Structure 1
């Protein structure tokens, strides 16, 4: 018995060390990508230039390029990538499906349809459009919750209701785009693809505050997420308030996803891939919420660097994540099926 306990203790220490090493490595990678995203462009700037801008010592030209264009864009990419990753991992753990996506329960479609309505019908943009998208995402989440949780929580019912609501909202959005003029179609298409082009310090403040609140709120719930995968009865026996914990996780994840989507649009595959990649990196059965957030930041920052500098033409960041996400999804599904076949 003592030998078994010692083996478990060694395994836990090794798992903890690996998790810490992965988190530190991902954080360093995110900082490197953040720095690259700031200094590269039509003009190449140094670390000293960036520090001078932060200290308000740089010339006005450099201050504008770095302080008003590149730095807000890079920080928004970091924050929104983390929000997408954390929200995706939370939903995947809640639905007991590592290859599930929060998009399938209709929240992103609700934000998208509200944004298209705001652009095409109301002619709004900027913060007004972002607020409208947040309201659309939250309203959709409430509708899905009312239709799903009436007779208790069932992941399969949540997915089916979400797919149905999402399909209906996509049809409404497509109908509005068909009737829109070409300028509104261009604006809506750029937003629906996922773009960092409109990032400014207001979005940085909003997304960073949301990220801080999300971390503070989600991290204490991550252990309860891990227990919920054992089943409601077992989790309740371990002291988890099942209904309250599940509702709190859903509310926090919906807020993170809605606010990130309102800032940069629905950047494809980030919520979908961040969780599975994080779990494979740390080799743990935990929910890996923080690790998923860092993976999401790295995905968005890296994709933004590619979108801006890999070719002579700049692309919306959502185009790059879509191109990268497809092959990565195939690889993850291959390893998942291989693991299941070995059990």
Structure 2
């Protein structure tokens, strides 16, 4: 008698479930290693670009200096004519361009990532303008100059950031309120600056314009040292802190469930952004659109990932290139570096608007 077909034992050769899990983990690790490799390649390429632009800005000016002579002058050798131009003009401008560009760009990228809006950079939200308005007020109406103006500019940026953070409140809508409050404060401060300039004589107005456009023409080694200290401390901290923004993007309630305090994280990022932005603005004025441009460019280069180091390098490269163009694009005429970066900001703004419309239509 034959056994019925349904009663016959069947051999099932199924792959154990843990093998599937192991394959998934291995695939994720491979993708992660590939992403990290691309990120480091991008950082290396941007670093090489910044070094190349730095050498061009420092050595190739009205008086061209060889690399060997530049090293000799840095080590203390005096070359008649060349030493003054190199040590007091081109080299400090190149150093300040790197520091200011990195500070503005890192601050802008952090704010854009935190507020999840490519338009939410410190120069758009009025933090830079707070420093400018305070400095213009001190120069024009109080007749101050030098270090007091620098301190007042720093205080102005801090006051605007504190106001934005205070009026934003808490909860999931805090990021949207921060953008609205910042844009409103920027409009008010712009009106204040215009009112102050209308009351200024021609000489005071010319001094005040530096605080409205941004310039690297009068930087000193002491200012470079102070800004370098701030960047060396605040930039690494900002890189570490912004790694938690991915959790914050899930929402305040879920972030709290994972042990992350959203309000404290936003406050810490804002403090670091203000330290970088205010310090750079207090030294060389608000170099327009560097914080606004660098974040989206770095985001695109990093294949959609937020990278504060990449943004800082992009900002340094932008300011170095813009400063060289502003000094030598038109023979016999030197423009403030903020004029060139401001001109570059308009096309990128249009590009962001078009790209945002396309992404909405595709969805």
What band does the TM-score fall into relative to the shorter chain? over 0.9
Aligned to 2:133: 113
Alpha-carbon deviation of 1:13? Answer: 1.6
Counterpart CA distance in 1 for 2:242 and 2:183 is 26
1:49-198 matched pairs, under 5 angstroms:
49-149=69-169, 154-198=174-218
* Cα distance change on mapping 1:150 and 1:22 into 2, 3 Å: closer
Counterpart CA distance in 1 for 2:317 and 2:81 is 29
**1:19 and 2:39 correspond:** yes
* Cα distance change on mapping 1:324 and 1:108 into 2, 3 Å: same
> Unaligned regions of 5+ residues in structure 1, if any?
none
Counterpart CA distance in 1 for 2:181 and 2:188 is 11
TM-score, structure 1 as length reference: 0.94
Aligned to 2:50: 30
Moved more, 315-324 or 226-235: 226-235
Alpha-carbon deviation of 1:173? Answer: 1.2
Alpha-carbon deviation of 1:304? Answer: 0.6
- Contact kept? 1:99, 1:276, Cα under 8 Å: no
- Contact kept? 2:172, 2:251, Cα under 8 Å: no
- Please state whether the residue corresponding to 2:120 is helix, strand or coil: coil
Counterpart CA distance in 2 for 1:40 and 1:230 is 49
Moved more, 326-335 or 37-46: 326-335
- Cα offsets for 1:268-326 (capped at 9, x unmatched): 111001111111101143x3111111111011111111111122121111111111221
Aligned to 1:219: 239
> Unaligned regions of 5+ residues in structure 2, if any?
1-19
- Contact kept? 1:15, 1:284, Cα under 8 Å: no
**Counterpart selection for 1:246 from 266, 271, 278:** 266
TM-score, structure 2 as length reference: 0.89
Counterpart CA distance in 2 for 1:99 and 1:305 is 27
Counterpart CA distance in 2 for 1:151 and 1:179 is 42
**1:302 and 2:328 correspond:** no
Aligned to 1:330: 350
Counterpart CA distance in 2 for 1:8 and 1:284 is 18
Alpha-carbon deviation of 1:167? Answer: 1.6
Counterpart CA distance in 1 for 2:168 and 2:360 is 29
Counterpart CA distance in 2 for 1:24 and 1:4 is 30
Counterpart CA distance in 2 for 1:325 and 1:275 is 12
Equivalent pairs counted in the alignment come to: 342
Alpha-carbon deviation of 1:240? Answer: 2.1
Counterpart CA distance in 1 for 2:179 and 2:252 is 19
* Cα distance change on mapping 1:261 and 1:237 into 2, 3 Å: same
Counterpart CA distance in 2 for 1:238 and 1:21 is 33
- Contact kept? 1:15, 1:283, Cα under 8 Å: no
Counterpart CA distance in 1 for 2:170 and 2:34 is 43
- Contact kept? 1:90, 1:253, Cα under 8 Å: yes
Alpha-carbon deviation of 1:97? Answer: 0.9
